[in-house]
Amino acid sequence: MTATRDWAREWAEGDGQPLQLLGHDGRILRPEVARPPDDLVREGLRLMLLSRAIDERCTNLQRQGRLGLYAPVLGQEAAVVGSHLAIDPAVDWLVPASREQPAMLRHGWPLDRMLALMLGRFEAARIPDDVRMLPRQQSIGSQLPHAVGIAWSASIERRDDVTLAYCGDGATSEGDFHEACNLAGVMQVPLVLVVINNQYAISTPIAKQTRAARLADRARGYGFPGVAVDGNDLLAVHEVTSQAVERARSGQGPTMIEAVTYRLGFHNTSDNPSLYREPAEVARAEELDPVARVVAYAETQGLVDAAAVEAQVLEARAEVATALERALTYPTPGPDDVFRHVSAEEDQRASE
């Protein structure tokens, strides 16, 4: 089906509303579009529930003073998981922004290592050598030129890996976003850029980041396709990202995907969203919960039932608990670690 349908064109020719395949109640809106394999939906749901379990546990740990700072994925799970399910972690590169925990896990960063980072066990948190993923980025948008460079290296070396990069709505105001998109367009690199528009950069709403109606419109100015998709619709996000990945892999250049979603939680554990948004707005967004939507879909398709979902939630919590125990066994850094990994010479001196 994706071979004949051009989602970016369809969106550009439409009314500007983000593309949707599932209704808010999980029913199929577009029966003519091929549905993903059942196993992919099950894996998506598993990752989304795992993400919730991590959010829940890490937020609690922070409140107990056992963890410094945590940024939950809450509300954005379908945008993150649906897009990442479109790439092959064994081949493709993942360039995260910062709150794409389920994508990082699926890419191969073990959960105990991820938790180790949040617990300050930096050495243990190192991304394994065979995992093609960059560290989380604290400088907003700075990862985007890196993503273009990786994708460009694939073009230069005629490799067939695709780079999947994430950024948020706030990052689209940064110069790096512009320079990266422009270079990606000029060099026609195999890049898929997913802009997770969760409506807020800390307290700043999207209306104060841009006067543009949709962020995906910007792609046209860089000479490549852009498409806005309902970021709470696992199937729609997966569908448009899969097509973008195909385009990239077959040498047709980059695509920008705006996944329109909502940050249900706080920016991070030191934030207080009640200072800048109305409870009614949050309540409306909660009705569009991406996990509830995919559960409803999976139930109507007979992939899961309520008991199975409940079991998966418990399983996810247990997985986090086990990983947390392991993470706490990793060494905390000592004074010598200040000098490690500054340069090859420093590391050479340290090992002598």
Partner 1 sequence: MDVGRDVTLLEATRRALVDAMEASERVVLLGQDVGRLGGVFRATEGLLERFPGRVFDTPLAEGGIVGASVGLAIGGLVPVAEIQFAGFLHQAFHQITQQLARYRFRSRGRFHLPVTIRAPYGGGLRMPEFHPDSLEAQLANVPGLKVFAPAFPDDAYALLREAVRDPDPVLFLEPQRLYRSVRGPLHLDDTGSSAARLRREGDDVLLVSWGPAVHTCLTAAQELETGHGVQAAVLDLRRLSPIDDRGLCEAAAARRRVVVVHEGVRTAGLGAEVVARLQEALADTISLPILRVAAPDTPYPPGRLEDHFLPSTGKVVAAALRAVHGR
Q: How far is the CB of 179 from partner 1 (least distance, A)?
A: 3
Instruction: Choose among 259, 254, 207, 206: nearest CA to 228.
Output: 259
Residue in 84, 106, 218, 263 annotated catalytic: 263
Which helix (H) or strand (E) segment is 163 a member of?
Answer: strand 163-168
If one asks whether residue 135 binds partner 1 (CB under 8 A), the answer comes out as yes
Q: Is the dihedral of CA 308, 310, 313, 314 positive or negative?
A: negative
Residue 263 annotated to the active site: yes
How many residues contact partner 1, by CB under 8 A? 38
Distance CA 272, CA 265 (A): 9
Distance CA 293, CA 275 (A): 29
From the list 14, 175, 205, 221, which residue makes contact with partner 1 (rule: CB under 8 A)?
175
> What is residue 185's DSSP assignment?
H
If one asks whether residue 88 binds partner 1 (CB under 8 A), the answer comes out as no
From 66-74, 210-218, 318-326, 339-347, span contacting partner 1 (CB under 8 A): 339-347
Of 127 and 196, which CB lies nearer to partner 1 in the complex structure? 127
First-residue to last-residue Cα distance in the chain: 60
Which helix (H) or strand (E) segment is 228 a member of?
Answer: strand 226-230
Q: How far is the CB of 345 from partner 1 (least distance, A)?
A: 8
Q: How far is the CB of 287 from partner 1 (least distance, A)?
A: 39
Site string for partner 1, 185-224 (x = CB under 8 A): -xx-------------------------------------
Residue 276 annotated to the active site: yes
From the list 87, 144, 162, 298, which residue makes contact with partner 1 (rule: CB under 8 A)?
144
Of 144 and 215, which CB lies nearer to partner 1 in the complex structure? 144
Give the rounded distance of the alpha carbon of 161 from its chain centre.
18
Beta strand pairing status for 191-197 and 93-95? unpaired
Q: What is the DSSP string of 76-129?
A: -HHHHHHHHTTS-TTTSEEE--S--HHHHHHHT--HHHHHHHHTT-TTTTSPPT
Site string for partner 1, 145-164 (x = CB under 8 A): xxxxxxxxxx-xx-------
Helix 77-84 and helix 234-249, axial crossing angle in degrees, nearest 10? 30
Residue in 276, 284, 341, 349 annotated catalytic: 276
Distance CA 304, CA 316 (A): 16
If one asks whether residue 139 binds partner 1 (CB under 8 A), the answer comes out as yes
If one asks whether residue 98 binds partner 1 (CB under 8 A), the answer comes out as no
From 38-46, 59-67, 232-240, 335-343, span contacting partner 1 (CB under 8 A): 335-343
If one asks whether residue 330 binds partner 1 (CB under 8 A), the answer comes out as no
Q: Is 165 helix (H, G, I), strand (E, B) or coil?
A: strand
From the list 65, 343, 351, 352, which residue makes contact with partner 1 (rule: CB under 8 A)?
343
Phi-psi region of 253 (alpha: psi -120 to 50; beta: other; left: phi over 0): left
Q: Residues with catalytic annotation?
A: 263, 267, 276
Q: Return residues touching partner 1 (CB under 8 A).
A: 93, 122-123, 125-127, 129, 134-135, 139, 142, 144-154, 156-157, 175-176, 179-180, 182-183, 186-187, 340-344, 347
